[in-house]
Structure 1
Amino acid sequence: MDLNTRVNIKGEPISVDDEMISAKKVAELCGVSRPMVYKLVSDFMFPPKHKLTTTRVGWLKSDVAEWKRLGVDVFYRTYGETLRVRALKGVA
């Protein structure tokens, strides 16, 4: 897969139908603060953000739904190592 292709948490290419949501909306949906969202991302315990413009980021609504479905501990056990490897490679 092209390193520039954006993928969802499961490693599938993002489709045009996938909705991006803001950090504020993510925090509201998950019941955590915005700083906690960023902390969880940095600890590979939450889906990664996607750069939308030079000053804006967003999360895939489907990735956030997967995190809510699994819970933080199962999410980390399921996706944490993959997210860490992607981060080391510089892949979204």
Structure 2
Amino acid sequence: MDPIDAIDDATAAAAFRRLVRHLRHRDDAQNVDLMGLAGFCRNCLSDWIGEAGALEREAARTAIYGMPYAEWKAHHQQEATPEQLRRMEESVAKNARG
């Protein structure tokens, strides 16, 4: 059994909410950089929460971003550089192998 499965749902949910709030606070951490480093971003989290709870995509994104995605994007998302895109592509390729 994976040790993560031994964590009770209330504890896991509290940790997840803390992660989401941390990402909301760190709006300087661009999704493309998160993807390039860790292979997931806020959009991935919203997709996962949507799949787990049968939420519509926009409702899940609003839950993760704390506002409609289009609003967050307009206020916080910067144009990705070629280097950021290259790192993201390399990282996403690792996801396919995992």
TM-score, normalised to structure 2's length? 0.29
Q: Of Structure 1 and Structure 2, which has the larger fraction of its residues in helix?
A: 2
Q: Of Structure 1 and Structure 2, which has the larger fraction of its residues in strand?
A: 1
Looking at CA atoms only, which structure, 1 or 2, has the larger radius of gyration? 2
